[in-house]
A and B are shown apart, each in its own frame.
Chain A
Amino acid sequence: MNLVFYIAAAVAVVSTTMVILQAQAVHALLYLIVSLLAVALVLFVLGAPLVAAVEVIVYAGAILVLFLFVVMMLNVAPGRHTVGRGWLAPRNWALPTLLVAVLLGQLLFVLSGGGPTRSPGPAIAPRAVGVTLFAQYLLGVELSALLLLSAMVGAYHLGRRDRVSMLTSAEPRRTAEQNKAAEFAGRVTESAEAVPPHGNGHAAGEASDLPPLPGGVKHGQRTA
């Protein structure tokens, strides 16, 4: 079982090294998944089956999928139009296949009875972990719930679409408005007073320095 530990540790170190050496985020994520699976095997060998399962399910299954969603939403891969052209080259799939095959070989070795099917030594059962978690650390569980709730609210607030669109549209519009304000200094100030009949109510009041230029210029041309 020592050998299983050392091989899994080597896989974890190699794949983690490859994570920080990758150029594209998706490749790094796939190497990171391999690294987490190897660490899960290490945890199992160390006698923590519950934590090993949680590592696979939550870390590799949920958190990294969240990363993957964000990478898909960002869509920043350089040369993404050539994706799928070079995936057959052996240098692209040789090392990941080797790492995963080593992990699969270890899993089959353990399952086939070559090694002990239970983790060696006195493993700490999931029951003991649950009893400790919900008796001794109950306050920690409640605080974790509070942390998750605040994280959810914070992520929702940071990712709100109208807030993002407001930030992105305000940046170029204000710089363009400053350029044209330097160009037509007199006409802009004149049109800022002429805008409220065009806009309606409070919307023109809070955005009076952002959008009035097209309406103001049109108004100036109409009067001229």
Chain B
Amino acid sequence: MASVPLESALALAGVLFTLGLLGLLVRRNILFVLMSIEIMLNAAGLALVTAGARWQQPDGQVMFLFMLTMAAAEVAVGLALVLSVYHRLGSLDTDAANRMRG
């Protein structure tokens, strides 16, 4: 990329990923955990597109599309799990689901 330096875009991706990781580690609400995972996936996609723009290849954007597909599938299953956990435990706290039973 001529006008936007590569380092700035990668730094933005890194900052967004770190924010998502922070939210994942700090929050206990399972919805916020899923949202933090979305933030981290989005930051990874931004890094992919940045790398693709640096070498002027469309592979970065193709990888972004695959990442988007994976994020959609993950969100569908994750939200179904959230509903199941909420109906079962009556809470969205991740600490409430700390027991494994058959």
Q: Which chain A residues have a beta carbon within 8 Å of chain B's beta carbons?
A: 1-2, 5-6, 9, 12-13, 16-17, 19-20, 25, 28-29, 32, 35-36, 39, 42-43, 45-48, 50-51, 54-55, 58-59, 62-63, 66-67, 70-71, 73-74, 76, 120-122, 124, 128-129, 131-133, 136-137, 140, 144, 147-148, 150-152, 154-156, 158-159, 164, 167-168, 171
Contacts and interface: CB of A to CB of B under 8 A. Distances in A.
B92 A76 contact: yes
Contacts of A59: 38, 42, 68, 71
Contact of B76 (A58, A124, A152): A152
Contacts of A6: 8
A13 B19 contact: yes
A154 B83 CA distance: 13
Contacts of B27: 20
A16 B56 contact: no
19 contacts: A5-B3, A19-B19, A20-B23, A20-B27, A25-B29, A32-B38, A35-B39, A35-B42, A43-B46, A46-B9, A59-B38, A59-B68, A66-B79, A121-B3, A122-B2, A129-B58, A151-B73, A158-B84, A159-B84
Interface residues of B, number: 60
Contacts of B60: 48
B32 A25 contact: yes
Nearest to A9: B12
Nearest to B70: A147
Nearest to B64: A51
Nearest to B31: A25
A2 B92 contact: no
B81 to A, nearest CB: 6
Contact of B35 (A17, A28, A147, A158): A28
A151 B26 contact: no
Given A35-B42, A158-B80, A171-B88, 19 more contacts: A2-B4, A16-B19, A29-B35, A42-B46, A45-B4, A48-B53, A48-B60, A121-B1, A122-B2, A124-B52, A129-B58, A131-B58, A144-B70, A151-B74, A152-B76, A155-B79, A158-B81, A164-B87, A167-B84
Contacts of B77: 151, 154-155, 158
Contacts of B79: 66-67, 70, 155
B72 interface: yes
Nearest to B34: A67
Contacts, number: 191
A222 to B, nearest CB: 36
B35 A132 contact: no
A50 to B, nearest CB: 6
Contacts of A167: 84, 87-88
B58 A154 contact: no
Nearest to A134: B62
